Amino acid sequence: MLKKITTRSVIYSLIVLLIYFVLNALLTGHAWDGMVISKSALTVEYCEFNNVDRFFHQSMNTYSNIVYFFFGIFICQLAWEDQKNRAVIGRNRLEQFPGLSYLIGGAFIYLSVGSAFFHASLTWVGQRVDMNGTYGLSIALLAICLYQAFYKWTLTDRLKTSVVGLLILLIVAFYPLALFISSSILLPVFILSIWLLTLINYVQFRKQRSILLAISSITLILIAFKIRQLDVQKINCDPYSVCQGHSVWHLLAGLSSFCGYAFFRFTPTPNRQ
């Protein structure tokens, strides 16, 4: 099953990349005329050269968001399989709640589109959507952590649907709310909360959890933040290179989030769950 899902995810991702290439070849930077430029563009926040004549102002930082799409479509397919097999005995707690997998898979895809939109246009609204996608992914992963850490919670199917609906509304609400709280505060709070709940769940079920996935998730995001910082500081910066620090940030941040999800999804859970 996983092999088929992976193959399909690669194919879908390549199709999206092809669409991106075609758009970037056919359209010009004038497509974004009239839209408010982001502060990031005005301050030249990232190393990659801002080619305002191209539809994708920052090509590599735009294309690299395909990693989020890959993980998102992969998880959504897992959720579909979980939904079809919910009656199978022995399914773990997250497999029995495919709505959460759909939510985080959708959040990955939303972030992929939002971040690509931002780096392609370097507009204010693009940056807002990008950050909302980041918060959306964080909220979805935090919800999974809470659901697993509080394993004695028993939710009916109707309540599960309501929970997912409320989480979607919360993500939407963060679009305006995020304007009042700096991301330098919000993101660390989300990340530390996720780490704490992951640790709690590992202590609860250490024989049924992969410590390697937890460590990988934490290590990858720490490395990602360091590389992002170096990119912003223009250290070892080559604006015209195909390898951009912020693109690597996309890759490592996506891998970190996926490992965080996999920590709960791909390991068996005990009977008491």
Q: Measured between alpha carbons, how far is 18 from 159 in angstroms, rounded to an integer?
A: 40
The rounded Cα 136 to chain-centroid distance in angstroms is 8
- By the 8 A CB rule, do 138 and 174 touch? no
Angle between helices 157-177 and 98-121 (to 10 degrees): 20
- By the 8 A CB rule, do 63 and 17 touch? yes
Whether 30 has a binding-site annotation, put simply, is no
CA torsion angle 165 170 173 179 (round to 10): -160
The first and second tokens of residue 124, run together, are: 């204010």
Whether 119 has a binding-site annotation, put simply, is yes
Q: Which residues contribute to the annotated binding site for Ca(2+)?
A: 48, 50
Query: Which positions make up the binding site for Zn(2+)?
Result: 119, 246, 250
List, as residue ranges, the binding site: 48, 50, 119, 246, 250
